[in-house]
Structure 1
Amino acid sequence: MILRSLFMSALAVGLVLLISRPTDCQTPTPWSPVCPYECVCFWGASIDTKVFNGTYMNCTFRRRGPFPVGEVPEDTVILDLSFNEMGKIPTGAFDKILHLQGVWLEGNHLSDTKVSQGVFDPLKYLQIIDLSFNDYTRIPQNVPETIKQWYFVTNKITHLSSTDLDRYPLLETLQLSNNNMTYIPVGFFAKQKLLSVLQISSNPLTSAGTPHGVFKDAISLSSLELKSDKLTRIPSGLPENLQTLDLSTNNIGRLYSSDFVGISRLGGLELSSNEISAIGTGVFSSLINLKTLGLSNNYLTHLTDGLFDGLASLGGLELSSNEISAVDTGVFSSLINLKDLGLSNNHLTYLNDGMFDGLASLESISLYGNKMIMISDNAFVPLRNLATIDLDSNSLETLQYEVYYNPPFKNLTSLFISSNPWNCDCRLRWLRELVDLKPYLMLPEFVKCVQPPYLQNLTWDILFPEDFVSSLKQSGKMILRSLFVSALAVGLVFLIGTDCQTPTPWSPVCPYECVCFWGASIDAKVFNGTYMNCTIRRRGTFPVGEVPEDTVILDLSFNEMGQIPTGAFDKILHLQGVWLEGNHLSDTKVSQGVFDPLKYLQIIDLSFNDYTRIPQNVPETIKQWYFVTNKITHLSSTDLDRYPLLETLQLSNNNMTYIPVGFFAKQTLLSVLQISSNPLTSAGIPYGVFKDAITLTSLELKSDNLTRIPSGLPEALQTLDLSTNNIGRLYSSDFIGISRLGELELSSNEISAIDTGVFSSLINLKTLGLSNNHLTHLSDGMFDGLASLESISLYGNKMIMISDNAFVPLRNLATIDLDSNSLETLQYEVYYNPPFKNLTSLFISSNPWNCDCRLRWLRELVDLKPYLLLLPEFVKCVQPPYLQNLTWDILFPEDFVC
């Protein structure tokens, strides 16, 4: 395991390993150090953009025991012995690694007495040392003077001397967090003219322990972190070059006007999680370059005018989790460049006109978790560049039209309004209409109505704008979201406003339990006329005489009607689509001739009923017929002769065992056919049964009982789904004559053998699914002809071997899924013979990989193309034993040895 903050230099990798045929584990390299068995050695490292040329030896966690004297390669420049439990460092430990520039020694129980005096003396080039998580009680004086970065976190230091750092004038970064220091003496940083980053967090430091001017000598200090200490005031006499100051999680109770004088270059100030209840006048006036200010989780109650004067450069202001209940008009007026404002979890009840004056640049405002009951019409007028507004978890019952449209927001992309007690009457209709006009704006399934009672707890995704009324008679109605309001039609129906009595040009009489509105869009086709939807919520007989005469779409699904009486459709002559699923209808419960008046009917859905045969009383004009989940057992060759205009037919989930030749004789326009989940065997699909369907482009026969690929398929076919059958073998003649096929799904069958050349005629195939079968080998020639293939799924087979040339015909592949097989290795040639030029996704997890030198090329590939194996943390080694269960994200190519 290695620290991922250290990674292989790409340049160095190029010097080390020439990717050729790395199946020979003895291939010589120009760099071959002797490395301790438990460690990893490789060439080069990059730390904080600085490249170190030489050996990087990493033994983090995996090694236990004393310092590896004599085992470290002499050209080592980075040595990581973190958490090795060494206990001590003996004399002479570094005598032969004279080029060392960085050493990590965290977590080794080291202390003042357990590191030999002078042990670091040979290290004339050392720049980085990490002694964190040890037992030191004082700053050691035996570290080389060349040190630039020193990490000394989580030790037991209690006392600092003013001369402790005098030996280290080159220090640039110093971390002393999580010790027991209570006092920093003046002069402690006297020689630290180059120090730029200082962290002394999580110590019991009080304000008395940071005397005035203690940091003044650190003239280059740009970042100071003193968080989680016990400060009660801002430290005084801070260096003028300071750019970032983090004082969060202290006990600071007040900010005084002199606190930030002299540090005008400050760009980031973090004061969250203190006890600030008062801020003096002009506190921030000198911070003319401040970009971010964090004041969250304090005790502020009132934002007074002038509070933020001088902060013209501020881009982010966080005031969440205070007790703010009052905001003066114009308090933000000087924040002309503010982009993000956080006011969540406060006690605001109103947003008044003028509250946000001056915030013309604001892009995001969070008001989550306040107690707001009202937003004035003009409150957001200054904020017309907003992209995000969060009003979640307030007490809003309504929202005026003017809040959004006065003038309209032009850039708004996210509006959060859930967990409010919305009264879904006509005053909110404009907002529900907005959801249809701009569906990206919010997640309506999380927005609930509390009032009126008949809409209580209903979410906005199952309601239409027409449900937002002031009369119980026009109450809302759940609808199927597969039918949605045409945006054009909505524009004709409602003039967006807040007057519930505004007349509209269309006002049908609609049954109480249903919803009627103008227009619907189904599969991109727009239907102009009334759409009446009574799905689920209505129960009883067919609503004879109650359907508006201009209805074009009628949905009576799951109404439990039981029958359709004579004359049911006599006055709705313009009907083009009718949904009648789930009504216990059958051959005998629908009157003969009942559909005769419907001369324009194109869509009928009779799914989830009790039909035992294909009815012959449906209009001949039908183009889309859904007949799923009935009780059909027998088909006649003439059943569909009456319906020559059919384009889509779904007969899935019935009890059919045989499709007679001639069944599709008149279906010359049929393009989509689904006959899945029937007890159909291969014997039940005779040769040529589909040949008359000359325009068939999509055929789904999944979850049947087929044992072979149906023969005589129409040549226009583009999509074929035969998944979840009992097919055991693919024969060389199976796909002849369907060269236009673009998608073939054969997953979840019992395929264990594939004839050579079986796919050779599928020159246009883009996607091939072979997952969850019984394949053990991929042989040469198996995929011949698939030059256009872009995606292949072989997930969940039993593969133990892929031949060198198996994928040679598939050089346009973008995705290969080999997850959950029995592969132990993968030859270099599989990928590089010749190389894939378009491959973007390779899935290889849940295989028993033997991570030896034969797989090194593949691990190298992960570094060269990190997008290829998106989640290397899911790829595990099973062999060799010392790498067992280690994932590829924590291993380097050098770990893959023989």
Structure 2
Amino acid sequence: MWPLWLLASLLALSQALPFEQRGFWDFTLDDGPFMMNDEEASGADTSGILDPDSVTPTYSAMCPFGCHCHLRVVQCSDLGLKSVPKEISPDTTLLDLQNNDISELRKDDFKGLQHLYVRSWEEPAGLQQGAGVRALVLVNNKISKIHEKAFSPLRKLQKLYISKNHLVEIPPNLPSSLVELRIHDNRIRKVPKGVFSGLRNMNCIEMGGNPLENSGFEPGAFDGLKLNYLRISEAKLTGIPKDLPETLNELHLDHNKIQAIELEDLLRYSKLYRLGLGHNQIRMIENGSLSFLPTLRELHLDNNKLARVPSGLPDLKLLQVVYLHSNNITKVGVNDFCPVGFGVKRAYYNGISLFNNPVPYWEVQPATFRCVTDRLAIQFGNYKK
């Protein structure tokens, strides 16, 4: 169980944008700008820091048995709960139900908790009256059934963490205010059209660790979404799904069964700055495929079956990091990474990994890495079968 002082500390240290999450609290290491909600965008004052003198405490007598309740935080993790407790104070702003045995979310489980919402983990000033950081955590339970109106009282919910459960479908009628959905490590096989309709504020979806195949994405499944971040790792994809949001800045499809990147696969995603395709079975990247990614800064192609450095890298003026280790690359040409001529590339590389490839590195010409910031940024290593 997380002590309340540590929970508050984590809230104070965390950042906004998501990344690859290996453990639940890993999201506290995210970096990037915070996405404002409508209230903040309108100029409402929601700033501040976690200051005990500025926090308005409440002393409600309502606290579920075995839980810890303080400053509108109700912590009920690791208690073996079979259902959502009933004795939750209506002024609760953070409800922690992770690591229990809850199997179902019923219609009235969150009734009366209309003040519960997540603005962001990184803005602890939200504990103040009327502004607060408010959260609902359902990670690592046994939830397999969610009533269609279970989330109806949570009209301001912005972040829903319901990973590591037994869900076979995306929860219905998600609150329109939702910004972030983490639903990885469930049993979801299908993303139907319309399941995300009305979620105009959605910024991030993490749905890795589900047995999703390409055929599981219905046409128009992501219509209307303006996502910044999407992760569908550790699934059963054999190619890049079609019709993903054009607004994506980060797309992570690692640990799948993708075999090739064809010309039209990346056509829609000109705003990508981070693309994760590591741990797949990619043998071929069609010439010109990467030309549709003019803002790309980081490319993960490690642990695939590439026989050569992908063409088009010198034309990516902002590309700084390329992971190509653990492939079948046997040769590196003098112009594989850097453009011909000076002043063409706007950002030099600060990381190129080529280790665990059958490349005779002593034959690679030094000029090959003329657009790299430092020789330490190049990782070769000895190839071992």
TM above 0.5, yes or no, is yes
CA contact (8 A) 1:819 1:846 kept: yes
Q: Which residue of 2 aligns with 1:599?
A: 114
Deviation at 1:649, TM superposition (A): 0.6
Q: 1:617 to 1:751 in 2, by over 3 A?
A: same
Choose which of 59, 65, 76 in structure 2 pairs with 1:556.
76
**What letter matches 1:586 in structure 2?**
S
Q: Which has the higher contact order (CA 8 A, sep 6+)?
A: 2
CA contact (8 A) 1:741 1:762 kept: yes
Deviations, residues 599-620 of structure 1 (Å, cap 9, x unaligned): 2111211111122144431222
Deviation at 1:482, TM superposition (A): 4.9
What is the alpha-carbon distance in structure 1 between the residues aligned to residue 11 and residue 354 of structure 2? Answer: 44
Q: 1:758 to 1:625 in 2, by over 3 A?
A: same
CA contact (8 A) 1:560 1:583 kept: yes
If each structure's strand is expressed as a fraction of its own residues, which one has the higher value?
1
**What letter matches 2:278 in structure 1?**
S
Q: Which residue of 2 aligns with 1:576?
A: 93
- Rg (Cα) greater in structure: 1
1:675-824 to structure 2, matched below 5 A, reads 675-694=207-226, 696-778=227-309, 781-783=311-313, 785-809=315-339, 811=345, 812-824=348-360
What is the alpha-carbon distance in structure 1 between the residues aligned to residue 85 and residue 325 of structure 2? Answer: 53
Deviation at 1:642, TM superposition (A): 4.2
Q: 1:546 to 1:758 in 2, by over 3 A?
A: closer
CA contact (8 A) 1:702 1:725 kept: yes
Q: 1:709 to 1:486 in 2, by over 3 A?
A: closer
Q: 1:764 to 1:482 in 2, by over 3 A?
A: farther
CA contact (8 A) 1:641 1:666 kept: no
**What letter matches 1:749 in structure 2?**
N
CA contact (8 A) 1:565 1:591 kept: no
Deviation at 1:644, TM superposition (A): 0.4
What is the alpha-carbon distance in structure 2 between the residues aligned to residue 486 and residue 744 of structure 1? Answer: 28
CA contact (8 A) 2:359 2:383 kept: yes
Deviation at 1:573, TM superposition (A): 2.3
Deviation at 1:790, TM superposition (A): 0.4
TM-align CA RMSD: 3.2
Q: 1:823 to 1:687 in 2, by over 3 A?
A: farther
CA contact (8 A) 1:529 1:552 kept: no
What is the alpha-carbon distance in structure 2 between the residues aligned to residue 628 and residue 613 of structure 1? Answer: 14
CA contact (8 A) 2:329 2:357 kept: yes
Question: Any gaps of 5 or more consecutive residues in structure 2?
Answer: 13-27, 35-47, 118-134
Q: 1:641 to 1:749 in 2, by over 3 A?
A: same
CA contact (8 A) 2:156 2:177 kept: yes
1:210-609 to structure 2, matched below 5 A, reads 478=3, 481-484=6-9, 528-529=55-56, 543=64, 551-566=71-86, 568-569=87-88, 572-587=89-104, 592-602=107-117, 603-609=135-141
What is the alpha-carbon distance in structure 1 between the residues aligned to residue 66 and residue 256 of structure 2? Answer: 48
3-state SS in 2 of match to 1:484: helix
Q: TM-score, normalised by structure 2?
A: 0.74
**What letter matches 2:9 in structure 1?**
F
CA contact (8 A) 1:701 1:721 kept: yes
**What letter matches 2:195 in structure 1?**
F
CA contact (8 A) 1:655 1:678 kept: yes
Q: Which residue of 2 aligns with 1:630?
A: 165
Deviation at 1:486, TM superposition (A): 8.2
What is the alpha-carbon distance in structure 2 between the residues aligned to residue 626 and residue 486 of structure 1? Answer: 15
Deviations, residues 575-600 of structure 1 (Å, cap 9, x unaligned): 2221101221122xx55323121121
What is the alpha-carbon distance in structure 2 between the residues aligned to residue 722 and residue 714 of structure 1? Answer: 14
What is the alpha-carbon distance in structure 2 between the residues aligned to residue 763 and residue 836 of structure 1? Answer: 17
Q: Which residue of 1 aligns with 2:204?
A: 672
Q: 1:545 to 1:749 in 2, by over 3 A?
A: closer
Deviation at 1:485, TM superposition (A): 7.8
Deviation at 1:677, TM superposition (A): 0.6
Deviation at 1:801, TM superposition (A): 1.5
Q: 1:667 to 1:640 in 2, by over 3 A?
A: farther
Q: Which residue of 2 aligns with 1:617?
A: 150
1:69-84 to structure 2, matched below 5 A, reads none
Deviation at 1:554, TM superposition (A): 1.7
Q: TM-score, normalised by structure 1?
A: 0.33
CA contact (8 A) 2:80 2:100 kept: yes
CA contact (8 A) 2:64 2:85 kept: no
Deviations, residues 380-436 of structure 1 (Å, cap 9, x unaligned): xxxxxxxxxxxxxxxxxxxxxxxxxxxxxxxxxxxxxxxxxxxxxxxxxxxxxxxxx
CA contact (8 A) 1:819 1:847 kept: yes
Deviations, residues 65-107 of structure 1 (Å, cap 9, x unaligned): xxxxxxxxxxxxxxxxxxxxxxxxxxxxxxxxxxxxxxxxxxx
Deviation at 1:563, TM superposition (A): 2.2
**What letter matches 1:813 in structure 2?**
Y
Q: Which residue of 2 aligns with 1:517?
A: none
CA contact (8 A) 1:531 1:553 kept: no
Q: Which residue of 2 aligns with 1:649?
A: 181
Q: 1:556 to 1:633 in 2, by over 3 A?
A: same
Q: 1:828 to 1:821 in 2, by over 3 A?
A: closer
Question: Any gaps of 5 or more consecutive residues in structure 1?
Answer: 1-461, 463-476, 488-520, 533-541, 849-877, 879-898
Q: 1:671 to 1:526 in 2, by over 3 A?
A: farther
What is the alpha-carbon distance in structure 1 between the residues aligned to residue 362 and residue 285 of structure 2? Answer: 21
**What letter matches 2:150 in structure 1?**
N
3-state SS in 2 of match to 1:699: strand
Deviations, residues 237-284 of structure 1 (Å, cap 9, x unaligned): xxxxxxxxxxxxxxxxxxxxxxxxxxxxxxxxxxxxxxxxxxxxxxxx
The answer to whether structure 1 residue 845 and structure 2 residue 381 are counterparts is yes
* Identity level (%): 22
CA contact (8 A) 1:757 1:782 kept: yes
What is the alpha-carbon distance in structure 2 between the residues aligned to residue 825 and residue 629 of structure 1? Answer: 43
Q: 1:543 to 1:668 in 2, by over 3 A?
A: same
Deviation at 1:479, TM superposition (A): 5.3
Q: 1:631 to 1:756 in 2, by over 3 A?
A: same
What is the alpha-carbon distance in structure 1 between the residues aligned to residue 370 and residue 11 of structure 2? Answer: 49
Q: 1:753 to 1:552 in 2, by over 3 A?
A: same
Q: 1:827 to 1:609 in 2, by over 3 A?
A: same
3-state SS in 1 of match to 2:230: strand
CA contact (8 A) 2:231 2:253 kept: yes
What is the alpha-carbon distance in structure 2 between the residues aligned to residue 772 and residue 835 of structure 1? Answer: 25
Q: 1:522 to 1:722 in 2, by over 3 A?
A: closer
What is the alpha-carbon distance in structure 1 between the residues aligned to residue 338 and residue 84 of structure 2? Answer: 61
Q: 1:613 to 1:755 in 2, by over 3 A?
A: farther
Q: 1:480 to 1:759 in 2, by over 3 A?
A: farther
Deviation at 1:480, TM superposition (A): 8.2
Deviation at 1:522, TM superposition (A): 11
Q: 1:486 to 1:776 in 2, by over 3 A?
A: closer
Deviation at 1:656, TM superposition (A): 0.8
CA contact (8 A) 1:640 1:666 kept: no
Q: 1:692 to 1:575 in 2, by over 3 A?
A: same
CA contact (8 A) 1:551 1:574 kept: no
Q: 1:839 to 1:687 in 2, by over 3 A?
A: farther
Q: How many residues align?
A: 320
